[in-house]
Amino acid sequence: VLSFIIFICYIASVATSFMMAPLLEFLLALFLCFAYASKLNEKFKGLYWPLMDFLRCVTAAIIYFAISIAAVSKYNDGASKAAGVFGFVATIAYAIDFYIIFNNLVTFLKQGSSDSPEGRKSE
């Protein structure tokens, strides 16, 4: 929802060159939501879906931070300022999300590494 709001703000502003990043992020989030809802993650076992979500969150946080700084500092219209502020809020939201996903990935990897030496010992 936040990506869509930022996309609308960039369309209404002078900084229309920044509208592609929120649009792509909105579409990626929509795809992952659809994939989880339709259980595509269970059908395609070759992809590690939490890692894809983690990478999406990391890149979104970095990109939103960069374009928000540019929108707030370079453009003077109200829609650009609003998009920049919403971009900073989105940066914080994505940073919290990738922190939570990172903790889940670390516990998953620790769980996987503790199981593998026991399996080797029994062989």
Tell which residue, 103, 90, 17, has the closest CA to residue 59.
90
Q: What 3-state class would DSSP assign to 105? A: helix
Domain boundaries, the chain: 1-112
Say what percent of the chain tops pLDDT 70: 90
Residue 112 has pLDDT above 90, yes or no: no
The pLDDT, as a whole number, for residue 12 is 87
Contact 54, 105 (CB under 8 A): yes
Question: Residue 68, class by beta-carbon neighbours within 10 Å (0-12 exposed, 13-18 middle, 19+ buried)?
Answer: buried
What is the signed CA dihedral for 69, 22, 96, 103, rounded to 10 degrees? -130
The identity of residue 56, as a single letter, is R
What was the pLDDT predicted at 113? 62
pTM: 0.77
Residue-wise pLDDT tens digits, 25-52: 889 888 888 988 998 878 887 777 888 8
Q: Rounded mean pLDDT of 102-117?
A: 74
